[in-house]
Structure 1
Amino acid sequence: MIGRKKSKAKETQFTEQITSIRGKLYRLAYCYVKNEQEALDIVSDATYKGYLAFMKADTVTYFDSWMSRIVINTAIDYMYRSKPMLVLEDFTQGLEAPVENVSIEAKMDLYNALDRLRPEEKTYIILKYFVSLSFREMAEVLAVPENTVKSRFYRIMQQLKAYLIEGEVDSI
């Protein structure tokens, strides 16, 4: 009987915590797949995986970061399993400051450059600009040292810059 009460309490705790961050998890998944239904599928799958792990674990510290990592891994797995597709959708609603004075061509160049990144590299850009995490928070989610996050982030930004410059040269 005590085991059942403990299990029920743990279920309630998981439900409360997942409910409080479900919007954040959805936005995170959406940044990867750019499709509402696929993002919902990813969050659903990640929630199931998280639930199973949560019920087995003694304690889970940093629940938000832990679940974010599960969503990221699930999204990356999904992207590798699914065929690549071109999606011409505007991400500006995910940004804190809307990008209003940028031409559609410039946005498309940016999204094309982002699509050239590996999913693991996209994670850094998504966490920084679409989820608005600090480097410290990114380090928690990615389970790597903060300085590693910074160095990888700046290397990826240089890569993006090179892709954008390359795109300008190609279009001339």
Structure 2
Amino acid sequence: MTEKEELVIKARNGDNLAFQILIEDEQDALYRFAFIYVRNETDAIDIYQQTVCKALTSIHTLKEPAYFSSWLTRILINVAIAFLNKRNKTVLIEQTDLEKIEDPNQPKVEEQMDLLQVLGELDDKYKTVLLLRYYQDYQVKQIAEMLNCPEGTVKTNIRRGLKVLKNALKGAYVDD
């Protein structure tokens, strides 16, 4: 059993410090994921906070400690989609907001703006699978389990989402 799994078991049994340690490990990835969904710093923070609150109140329902990250990501996806459905309006990407989430290991913000803009315009089913696959590095099987759908559906949504991205970015970039 890994150290993370032991922390999950402790958190499931009511150890708030263990839960805090687990959340701190996931914090950056969750925030970035939320930001990609809503493209607004304040809203991303709200989604992150709602995710943590829901996770804290329902940690006892997590059956398999090894799936903590997947479980937490699924909560975030549900919170983000509910938030977007409630708000149901278009948000423009602000240059200053993008600079705040810039990862030094990633390309510069200017290079990501077109991709983020197009990602933000995708249907939720395509956006979710693409973010899970390419931003969170989940395998197709893990995504299928997380979303409770067949692997074939996940593969189809990834393929269709990539096709939409390619067509949307075709005018801006020369195909390799």
TM-score (norm 1): 0.71
Q: Looking at CA atoms only, which structure, 1 or 2, has the larger radius of gyration?
A: 1
The CA deviation at 1:85 is 1.7
Contact 2:126 2:160 in 1 (8 A): no
Q: After TM superposition, which residue ranges in structure 1, 4 or more long, deviate above 6 angstroms?
A: none
Q: Given the alignment, which residue of 16, 33, 36 partners 2:38?
A: 33
Partner of 2:54: 49
The CA deviation at 1:137 is 3.6
Contact 1:26 1:40 in 2 (8 A): yes
The CA deviation at 1:138 is 2.7
Contact 1:95 1:129 in 2 (8 A): no
The CA deviation at 1:60 is 4.4
Structure 1: stretches of 5+ with no match in the other structure: 1-5
What CA distance in whole angstroms lies between the structure 2 residues aligned with 1:142 and 1:126?
A: 13
Partner of 2:81: 76
Greater RCO (CA < 8 Å, at least 6 residues apart): 1
Q: CA RMSD in A?
A: 3.2
Partner of 2:29: 24
TM-score (norm 2): 0.69
Read off the aligned partner of 1:98 and give its amino acid letter.
P
Contact 1:30 1:39 in 2 (8 A): yes
Seen in structure 2, the aligned counterparts of structure 1 residues 45 and 118 have a Cα distance that, compared at 3 Å, is same
Identity between Structure 1 and Structure 2 (%): 32
Partner of 1:129: 134
Question: 1:73-93 deviations in whole A, cap 9, x for unaligned?
Answer: 111111222221211445894
Structure 2: stretches of 5+ with no match in the other structure: 1-9
Residue 98 of structure 1 aligns to a residue in which SS?
coil
What CA distance in whole angstroms lies between the structure 2 residues aligned with 1:107 and 1:23?
A: 18
